[in-house]
Chain A
Amino acid sequence: MSKRLPIHAPKAAADQPAIWRSITDKNHPEAVARAADSEGEITGASKSLVALKAKAEVVQAAKAKVGRRGFLATSGTAAAVGLSGCIRRPVDHILPHSRGPEYALPGIPLHFATSVTHGGEGFGLLVESHEGRPTKIEGNRDHPSSQGATDARLQGMILDLYDPDRSAHPQQGETESTWADFDGWWRDKAAELGQGAGLRVLVRPSDSPSHHRARQAFQQRFPAASIHEWDAVSYSPYFQGSKLAFGTSFETRYDFARAKRVVSIDCDFLGSEPGTVRNARGFAEQRGLERPTVDMNRLYVVESTMSLTGMNADHRLRLAPSQVDRYLRALAVKLGENGVDLPEALQTAVRGTSTDGFSESWLDGVAKDLVHNRRPGDSSAGIDPDTASNRANDRTRSVIVVGWRQPPHVHALAHALNAALGCIPGCVALYPAYNDGEQSHVESLTELTEAMQGGSVDTLIILDGNPVYDAPSDIGFAEALASVDNTVHLSTRVDETSTVCSWHLPLAMELESWGDHRSIEGALSIQQPLIAPLRGGRSAAEVLAMVGGIRSWRGYHLVRGTLRETIGARGFDRSWRRGLHRGVVVSPRVRPANPPVNGGAVAAALTENAVSAATPFEVSFIASYQTWDGRQGNNSWMLEMPDPVTKLVWDNAAYISPATAEALGIAPPDAPPGFLPQTMEALRQGALLNISRDGVESITVPAYVLPGHPDNVVTLPLGFGRTRAGRYGNDVGVDVNPFRTGDALGFASGVTVTLADGRGELVVTQAHHSMVGRPLAIDATLEQYRETPTFPQWRTDEREATPSPSLGPLWTQEDYSQPRVPARGGTSYQPYPEERTAREGASARYKWGFVVDLSRCTGCSACIIACQSENNVAVVGKQQVALGREMHWMRLDRYFVGDDLADPRVAVQPVGCQHCEEAPCENVCPVAATAHSPEGLNDMAYNRCIGTRYCMNNCPYKVRRFNFLDYQGVVPELERMQFNPNVTVRMRGVMEKCSYCVQRIQYARIQARRDTTVDSEGEITERRIGPDDLQSACAQACPSQAITFGDLNDTRSPVHRRAHMDRNYKLLAFIGTQPRTSYLGKIRNPNSEMV
């Protein structure tokens, strides 16, 4: 008979919608309940189901076979070595500099401002460098596109730098070469080329002024040559769309902080469109309500897949990609009917658009809502009109955004509608673009390929990019490339394209070369190298400038030259130094343009591109959240980061809806008695699909059944299935580029999908670390919030109704608002003499706390990678993840909410160690390896841990991670340069978990202690750690500011404010663990007329 008294978990409220993690969870609630009761008896089936595939070296340790002789030999040697170590530790050396570098203090990291290209614009960064070794990327607060935050891909960039598979020297054919050889070769070649008739250059689109200066120089030197642009995730529809609408091409920046109603037309503006970081920041600004009286924005998403943005929608319409266009036309008609003044030609063009399949609420309801918000604040009663966010503004705050998958005329229509709604300029700001919108990227690449096929290309220089891998399959780029005599490819590694080219040149990455960038609104920033090129490469701009005959083509001189032209020679050096320091040289002074819409041109384009009927199957191509278009394809952090939507790791898959799965005949086998939900889920996913289309090679992709996905649509993520990415990325997932054609870059119609034999091995993390059916991620609508501001507590904390745990705490409870007790007496044997009391007048101790606003959190996963980068978190490989052994300290749970399998709502919840004041893990540790600090941190002493894993089992939040194997021991030497020297690298057999970034806390504390002064009278002037002195890595990276961390005893701190907000709640509050981490309930803002 157990002595443990029962804990009465509150039952979910009757009116609470179902919350489920996977389709099996939803269809088989009894299995979930059984798993909850028994803690799940793991049958062998759940492991054997996923035929496990070893992943590169990470799992080699698992496979090491040691025979008897080997064992004896090793143990003998180990004993000898061990005993010799008893005498004296090995001799260690200290190597000081011969001449000390300026500023460098050994042991203290330096931070340098730099910038990179991200989302088509310059992005300001602050990079931490330890003794000349960059280790961590942060956003630059002074830069408009960052505002201090980053996203997952930027966080992962630091690992790209230390990629062990980067090439270290130029290569001519198969033979090793040098840069001097190449320079010599090019000198001869350039003389031979004359005017450059046979010379072509292929570049990636760039926001760098120096890049564009080098292009001009190149064009002057070789007037007959031409430059082409290609990018697999091409933003050219934006430029062509704005050119169509306004006659000139513009960059578009949306101000989501002001937009009250947002209609997203297949636009993943929070995940994979330009400016995701600033978009998320602005969007979240209105989601994180501080009190019920504040107004909130509303997001309508019409999309052809399930995206990060779709997960955050208040209303979501699932459509085939070809029908998205039709929806926007139908909406235009409705807007016209509701009094929006559209150009006459446009009205004629959209008149009569079929509204098949669109409900009246999605047309009239949305149109009315958009028009209604011309004057914000009057939409509902009880709005406080004086708050800053509600201040009256006679511009419309409704905005329609369109994504890169949709063709230019849809973008043009949206521009016309935005102009008619009156939000240009306003929520939509237009800025001049480098790209003139004349030619799309695919047209440019096709032109190049045709020239190559025609034999008119003698020399092709490819600067960065991997077109052999990612070019559309129908234009035959790879074959044409092979026919060119002289091909030069500049890239980080010998990749798919390099192997076909006659020259391969190593590329210097952005963190190791000079450059410059321009943000959309015109902020110029310098790209300052953090380290000399690790592999001796050159940047794309450098090579272009050298080829273009600029005499001082070296990055530093090139950038200074460009900048001198822009800002003038007067006071240049001062501006340069200030720019290096701040990260921004010129703050934007460009005013957004306000061009008139050419209604006739848009109307003509709409008429020309009539909407065709939906075909049974259509394919949407998305950029992978993990590898993008494959450029981060060898980044083990990114490959192991669970996809924010599907929670897939180390793979891509064809996403289909449950209804489509059923129609295709994908059904899990009959549920055996006693099965586990995750077992069934593994059976459901991974059926192979054969996807074919006329004139294109068919591909076979494992299916992932995704609730909320549009029916009869298949989503294929780019960026996987690479063959020459490197040791981690080779043969991971399926390459879908062979299925992508030039006329269908975003989506393809007329596709046939059939079920093929066999299964793919998909590993999904959402089924891991189950917290079985308890109310965790809690959400409510805005109305419910206004009615009951404390709604999350109302659902979880039913202490009156149910008896609370009647066992008292195991030890005396600390009062964390009191000052810390100082050291007075005591020895190792008698540590706590009774007379220890705090000094009179001492201020309260720090009480570290952590609040996550679920309403702000978009689920973008930046926190996961930021944590990995800061805390040396190991990558374990696909096989180990399949066994539930992922090491991420921060996990992002994704729950589906609601009863509709086809169209659920989504809630995401970041969960790390909750730092319980009454921590269950501490009670069960036999060696006190995990213990409490006086400030309430749940400390983990790795060197004490003996690996019993009791703590892991006793943790109600399932946040402890165990090093089953020596994951970090097999990390290559070069990659180890990324390790944070202030965090212990954990070995095999050791438990670890979120530490609240204790190394940052200690650093801030030491700084504060040093500033605390004692004068000759013994008077103490104390400096405390303020909110600006300290942030955890996840909070610092978070683009939507969903995470706050700080001192709960400090009433000025944001974390204190959020911890005392009405919608604050703690996970599993009823079990009495008193966690320091708390959550703010998620609020949705559905349109009451559409529910």
Chain B
Amino acid sequence: MQIFPKSLNYLPLVAAMAAAVGGGVATFVVAYYFSPNFLYVGYEPEQPVPYSHRLHAGQMGMDCRYCHANVERSYEAMVPPTQTCMGCHSIVAPESARLEPVRESWETGEPIEWVRVHKLADHAYFDHSVHLAGGIGCVSCHGRVDRMEVVRIDQPLSMGWCLDCHRDPEENIRPLSRLTDMDWTREDATAEEQAEMDGLLARAVPPENCSGCHR
């Protein structure tokens, strides 16, 4: 008298295989879909003003620091005050409907509510100024902003990603005159620029300990 069919003899084997495959899938799902690489890269929120970096920084070739004026002096790169926009737009396209929120902010004194794109955790104290002083350009973390119609996250901005560069910054170092030049690559370096980069690299001792970024 046999209660269970013979095919059940394969049950342990099938179960083991299912567990192995399932475990593998689960590991993959977590590793890929729960990672900043999937969750954050590509975040592209709509802004109150349809400001185009491609137009301003790309086509017109404005330097990043015209608006993000603080980036070499402060933790924050800073989003410019409405004043900066109005510096040009009181003359250029003063009637444009798309600039209505800017004019409103200028008249009322109320801030424009930009949506934050690049956001680090509160316990990570990132400093723009020291990275620029060390020869790390905008493009390394923010990508080709000059080609973006709407700003999106280009890099995962995770701790592991930060540390990869802190442990080996060589590929991301560029001469101080090329910090905001997004077209420039290390292959374009002149001999003088190469010497400067070597100096910057020799000086670089980026922190790899906790208190370097967490306080």
Contacts and interface: CB of A to CB of B under 8 A. Distances in A.
Interface core residue of B74, B134, B203, B215 (most chain A CB under 10 Å):
B215
5 contacts: A95-B112, A99-B82, A824-B168, A944-B210, A983-B215
Contact of B115 (A86, A93, A821): A93
Given A108-B75, A933-B211, A1018 B168 contact: no
A89 B153 CA distance: 13
A934 interface: yes
A823 B166 contact: yes
Contact of A106 (B70, B125, B127, B198): B70
Interface string A854-873: 00000000000000000000
Interface of A: 86-89, 91-100, 105-108, 820-828, 831, 839, 931-934, 937, 939-944, 982-984, 995, 998-999, 1001-1002, 1006, 1009-1010, 1012, 1014-1020, 1022
Contacts of A1010: 72, 129-130, 133
Given A933-B210, A943-B214, A98 B192 contact: no
B83 A984 contact: no
B82 A932 contact: no
Interface core residue of A98, A831, A1002 (most chain B CB under 10 Å):
A98
A1016 B192 CA distance: 6
B168 to A, nearest CB: 5
Interface core residue of B80, B123, B200 (most chain A CB under 10 Å):
B123
A96 B45 CA distance: 18
A539 B151 CA distance: 49
Contacts of B93: none
A992 to B, nearest CB: 11
Contact of B116 (A93, A933, A1022): A93
A943 B122 CA distance: 10
B49 to A, nearest CB: 12
Given A820-B205, A826-B167, A1018 B116 contact: no
A944 B124 CA distance: 12
Contact of A939 (B39, B72, B79, B209): B209
Interface string B140-163: 000000000000000000001001
Given A96-B81, A1006-B130, 6 more contacts: A92-B115, A95-B113, A98-B106, A105-B70, A934-B209, A982-B215
A87 B43 CA distance: 11
Contacts, number: 182
B199 A1014 contact: yes
Nearest to A984: B123
Contact of B70 (A107, A1001, A1015): A107
A106 B115 contact: no
Nearest to B74: A107
Nearest to A980: B215
Contacts of A96: 78-82, 111-112, 114
B214 A100 contact: no
B199 A1020 contact: yes
Contacts of B113: 93-95
A107 B109 contact: no
Interface in B76-112: 76, 78-84, 105-106, 108-112
Contacts of A106: 70, 74, 76, 78
A105 B202 contact: no
B186 interface: no
Contact of B82 (A92, A97, A826): A97
Contacts of B75: 107-108
B210 A105 contact: no
A1014 B203 contact: yes
Q: Which 9 A-B pairs have the closest CB atoms?
A: A1018-B199, A107-B75, A933-B209, A107-B76, A95-B111, A939-B210, A100-B81, A1014-B199, A92-B116
A100 B83 contact: yes
B168 A99 contact: no
A112 to B, nearest CB: 18
Interface in B170-215: 170, 176, 192, 195-200, 202-212, 214-215
A98 B123 contact: no
Nearest to A824: B168
A1072 to B, nearest CB: 23
Contacts of B65: none
A828 B160 contact: yes
B109 A98 contact: yes
Nearest to B112: A96
B127 A1006 contact: yes
A1016 to B, nearest CB: 5
Measured as residues with beta carbon below 8 angstroms from the partner, the interface class of chain B is: 35 or more
Contacts of A1009: 130, 133-134
A826 B208 CA distance: 11
B74 A93 contact: no
B82 A939 contact: no
A94 B176 CA distance: 28
A827 B164 contact: yes
Interface string B49-77: 00000000000000000000010111110
B81 A1014 contact: no
A872 to B, nearest CB: 10
B105 to A, nearest CB: 5
Contact of B168 (A94, A826, A939, A943): A826
A733 to B, nearest CB: 36
Contacts of B202: 822, 839, 1018, 1020
Given A1014-B200, A1018-B196, A1018-B202, A99 B209 contact: no
B116 A94 contact: yes
A982 B166 contact: no
B6 interface: no
Nearest to B105: A98
A821 B209 CA distance: 12
Contact of A984 (B106, B122, B135): B122
Contacts of A839: 202-203
A984 B215 contact: yes
Contacts of B80: 96, 100
Contacts of B206: 823
B195 to A, nearest CB: 4
Nearest to A99: B83
A98 B82 contact: yes
Contacts of B82: 96-99
Interface core residue of A97, A827, A831, A943 (most chain B CB under 10 Å):
A97
Contact of B169 (A94, A823, A999): A823
B187 to A, nearest CB: 19
A1006 B129 contact: yes
A118 B80 CA distance: 41
Given A98-B108, A100-B81, A940 B204 contact: no
Contacts of A108: 73-75
A828 B164 contact: yes
Nearest to B84: A100
Nearest to B83: A99
Contact of A982 (B106, B111, B125): B125
B215 A1002 contact: yes
Contacts of B43: 88
Nearest to A1000: B215
B209 A822 contact: no
A831 B111 CA distance: 45
Given A931-B209, A941-B214, A91 B79 contact: no
B123 A107 contact: no
A561 to B, nearest CB: 31
B167 A98 contact: no
A92 B198 CA distance: 39
Contacts of B196: 1014-1018
Contact of A105 (B74, B121, B204, B212): B74
Contacts of B204: 822-823
Contacts of A825: 167-168
A98 B111 contact: yes
A995 B114 CA distance: 35
B212 A1002 contact: yes
A826 B109 CA distance: 50
Contact of B195 (A87, A1002, A1016, A1022): A1016
